[in-house]
Chain A
Amino acid sequence: MAVLSSSSPPKSKAKAVSSRKVREWFTGYLFILPAFLVIGIFGLFPIAYAVYMSLFRWRVRKGSFIGFDNYQQLLGNPWGALVFLGGLLLILLAHWLWTDAFKVNKSFRIGRLLGAIVLIAAGVFMSLGWTTMLTEGSRDTNDFLNALVRTVFYAFGSIPLQIVFSLLLASLLYQKIRGQELFRMIFFLPYVMPVVATSVVFRSIFSQREESIANQVITALGLPAQRWLFESKPILQVMLGERLTQFNSWLSQIGVSWQLEGLWLGPSLALIVLIFFGIWTYSGYNVVIFLAGLGNIPKQLYEAAEIDGANGVQKFWNITVPLLSPVTFYLTVLGFIGALQAFTQLYVMRQPFARDSIDTASVLIFDTFYKSNNFSLAATQSIVLFVLILAVTLLQNRILGRRVFDA
Chain B
Amino acid sequence: MLNTQKTEPQVKTAKAFKEAYEFKWFHLIIYFILLVGAFMSIMPFFYMVSTSLMTLGETINRQFLPKIPQWQNYAEAWTEAAFSRYFLNTVIITSLTIIGLLCTSILAAYAFANIQFPGRESLFMILLATMMIPGTVTFIPNFLMIRGEIIPWGSWMNTLQALTIPFIAKAFAIFLLRQFFKGIPKELWDAAQIDGAGHLRFLMAVVIPMSRPVILTVTLFTFVDAWNEFIWPLLVTTTSTWRPLGVGLWSFVTEAGPQTHWLMAGSVIVILPVLLVYFITQKYFTEGIATSGLKG
Contacts and interface: CB of A to CB of B under 8 A. Distances in A.
Interface of A: 21, 24-25, 27-29, 31-32, 34-39, 41-47, 49-50, 53, 165, 168-169, 172-173, 175, 177, 183-190, 192-198, 200-205, 211, 213, 216, 280, 284-285, 288-289, 291-293, 296, 312, 327, 330, 337, 340-341, 343-344, 347-348, 361-362, 365-366, 369-370, 375, 378-379, 382-383, 385-386, 389-390, 393
Interface stretch (B8-16, B68-76, B209-217, B259-267): B259-267
B98 interface: no
Contact of B296 (A184, A186, A330, A366): A330
Contacts of A344: 230-231
Contact of A172 (B30, B47, B253, B267): B30
Nearest to A293: B294
Contacts of A386: 133-134, 136-137
A39 B293 contact: no
Given A21-B116, A197-B249, 20 more contacts: A24-B115, A31-B108, A32-B123, A41-B151, A42-B142, A42-B165, A45-B141, A46-B141, A183-B37, A186-B42, A188-B285, A192-B224, A193-B228, A194-B246, A197-B246, A204-B47, A292-B293, A343-B135, A370-B235, A385-B137
A172 B296 CA distance: 25
B274 interface: yes
Interface residues of B, number: 92
B26 to A, nearest CB: 8
A27 B286 CA distance: 34
Interface in B221-240: 224, 227-228, 230-231, 235
Contact of B137 (A29, A330, A383): A383
A343 B229 CA distance: 11
B174 interface: yes
Given A28-B117, A393-B132, A35 B270 contact: no
B275 interface: yes
A41 B145 CA distance: 9
A38 B275 contact: no
Nearest to A361: B136
Nearest to A43: B130
Query: By DSSP majority rule, is chain A's interface helix, strand, loop, or mixed?
Result: helix
A65 B60 CA distance: 56
Contacts of A292: 290-291, 293-294
Contacts of B123: 32, 36
Contact of A32 (B61, B111, B228, B245): B111
B62 A211 contact: yes
A50 B231 contact: no
A336 B284 CA distance: 26
27 contacts: A27-B117, A28-B115, A32-B107, A35-B127, A35-B169, A36-B108, A36-B123, A36-B127, A38-B168, A44-B133, A49-B150, A185-B279, A186-B41, A189-B45, A190-B41, A193-B275, A194-B228, A194-B274, A200-B267, A204-B263, A330-B293, A347-B230, A348-B230, A375-B140, A382-B134, A382-B137, A389-B134
Contact of B266 (A44, A49, A200, A296): A200
A362 B141 CA distance: 15
A391 to B, nearest CB: 13
B286 A185 contact: yes
A322 to B, nearest CB: 17
Interface of B: 26-27, 30-31, 33-34, 37-38, 40-42, 44-45, 47-48, 51, 60-62, 103-105, 107-108, 110-112, 115-118, 120, 123, 127, 130, 132-145, 150-151, 165-166, 168-171, 174, 198-199, 224, 227-228, 230-231, 235, 245-247, 249-250, 253, 260, 263-264, 266-267, 270-271, 274-275, 278-279, 282, 285-286, 289-291, 293-294, 296
Given A46-B141, A172-B33, A194-B228, A38 B45 contact: no
A169 B39 CA distance: 13
Contact of A34 (B104, B224, B260): B104
A39 B33 contact: no
Contact of A44 (B48, B110, B130, B279): B130
A101 B182 CA distance: 41
Contact of B270 (A36, A190, A197): A197
Contacts of A36: 108, 123, 127, 169
B44 A201 contact: yes
A137 B73 CA distance: 52
A45 B278 CA distance: 35
B127 A39 contact: yes
A196 B246 contact: yes
Contacts of B174: 35
A366 B231 contact: yes
A49 B141 contact: yes
Residue in B31, B62, B118, B138 with the greatest tally of chain A CB atoms within 10 Å: B138
A12 to B, nearest CB: 20
Contact of A327 (B169, B235, B294): B294
A280 B40 CA distance: 8
Contacts of A186: 38, 41-42
Contacts of B274: 192-194
